[in-house]
Amino acid sequence: MPKTVLFDLDGTLTDSGEGIINCAILGLQHFGLPIPPREEMGVFVGPPLDKTFVEFGVPEDRAQEAVDVFRSRYVVEGKFENIPYPGIREALATLKAQGHRLFVATSKPEVTALEVLEHFDLMDYFEFICGATLDGTRVHKSDVIEYLLKKVSVSEEILMVGDTKFDVLGAAHHGIPTIGVAWGYGSVADMEQAGAKAIAHSMDELVDLINQ
């Protein structure tokens, strides 16, 4: 049966780590904080930036300042230091041809998500793209999904597809199960602990899991 499938963006559809990490380094440098090895900074991909900057030593009351520094580079060049995962285009084409309704639900600012998807010619696979707002009214994955469900009439079974525990927990807040993907920046163990329905280790496996 056709399903409604909500896709995360960073770490699920595209490998955006290079640009996000480069901009996160700029944010930490702004505060004179030590720069960890790049392999430890993948946690910046996906969750709200303000909370992640605090985890790396930015004072909580100045977290938005760090986000502003991040965005000063990201909106110019960082967003395009990014590449669609191999096989994702074919997987989306297959799912759409099978009759599934595809959407994007991302914690990335919606305006940036639209630019990225258009840049990589991925827009046409999705009925609607929903992301965070720059004014902070939509930040967390649960907020984004809530807004999307208000905007779109859905009668089919709904699934979330994402690469972090934040996708799993945000979708679960609305009673939506999540298929985690192993190729992103989140921990498979964390997704499983958060209650992921299943974990896809390849694009073919993802398509199969959605069709089960």
Catalytic residues: 8
Distance CA 13, CA 105 (A): 11
Give me the phi and psi of 180, to 5 degrees please.
-85, 150
Alpha-carbon torsion angle 120, 174, 150, 67, nearest 10: -50
Query: 3-state DSSP: the chain helix, strand, coil percent, rounded to 5?
Result: 50, 15, 35
Distance CA 57, CA 76 (A): 25
Give me the phi and psi of 194, to 5 degrees please.
-75, -10
How many angstroms separate the Cα of 37 from the Cα of each of 21, 22, 40? 10, 12, 6
